[in-house]
Amino acid sequence: MFKQIRQFDLRITQYFAQHRFSPKAAKFFRSYVRLGDGYVWAFVILLVLWIYGIRDLLAVLGPVASAVFTCFALYWGVKLSIRRVRPFELVPEILAEVPPLDKYSFPSGHTMNNLTIACVVFQAFPEIGWIMLILPLTWGMLRVYFGVHWFSDIIGGALFGVIAYFLSRPIYQFSVELIQSFLQS
């Protein structure tokens, strides 16, 4: 099965290497994909503040913090256990056209981390949260196009992102109960 996944990943990577955007489009998409480095969340904070107000923004910060903590713990555990080589390191004709933020490929952190936070935003603010669910997937696919991820890294990042979100919910609830118990004693 892993051999078939590697072959499929290689076919997609080679397809993207042979079908390139125009230079202007590539420049735009390189800027767009960098939003996944975390910059988009400043815009989301301002949007939530503007539409919903400070109380709703503050109410979602705890679940977001729990999701980020859970996601990073899962992300680094998986990333350092698997240590998958990036496409540009393995395939000579592939170039890294955007900077990788760490050494290994699986799972895609851009997809995983942003999707985990997007799930929290979607749960709290579905009217704007749905767009936040789409962005990590488009960033992930562009990172395949730009040679820093395999397609299965994006699928794995999405799955682990959703898992991290669901794991973070009881962790957040436990931490709230623990703090309330501490404050009452």
Question: At what angle are helices 40-52 and 54-82 packed, to 10 degrees?
Answer: 150
pLDDT of residue 107: 95
Q: How many CA atoms lie within 13 A of 38 on its CB side?
A: 4
Question: At what angle are helices 151-184 and 54-82 packed, to 10 degrees?
Answer: 130
Tens of pLDDT, residues 6-54: 999 989 998 998 889 999 999 999 999 988 888 888 889 999 999 999 9
Say whether pLDDT at 181 is over 90.
no
pLDDT of residue 25: 93
- Do 154 and 141 touch, CB atoms closer than 8 A? yes
Greater pLDDT, 3 or 167: 167
pLDDT of residue 156: 97
Of 153, 159, 164, the residue nearest 67 (C-alpha): 164
Indicate the domain borders of the chain.
22-184
DSSP letter (8 states) at residue 86: P
Q: Determine which helix (DSSP H) or strand (DSSP E) holds 164, and give its type and residue range.
A: helix 151-184
> Is the omega angle on the peptide bond into residue 87 within 30 degrees of 0, that is, cis?
no
Neighbours of 181 (CB within 10 A): 9
Q: How far apart are CA 63 and CA 43, in angstroms?
A: 18
Tens of pLDDT, residues 49-98: 999 999 999 999 999 999 999 999 999 999 999 999 999 998 888 888 89
Tens of pLDDT, residues 169-178: 999 999 888 8
CB burial readout 77-97, b (16+ within 10 A) else e: ebbeeeebebbbbeeeebeeb
- Taking the model in full, what pTM does it have? 0.88
Tens of pLDDT, residues 113-155: 999 999 999 999 998 888 889 999 999 999 999 999 999 999 9
Say whether pLDDT at 183 is over 90.
no
Tokens of 154: 């994006």
pLDDT of residue 54: 93
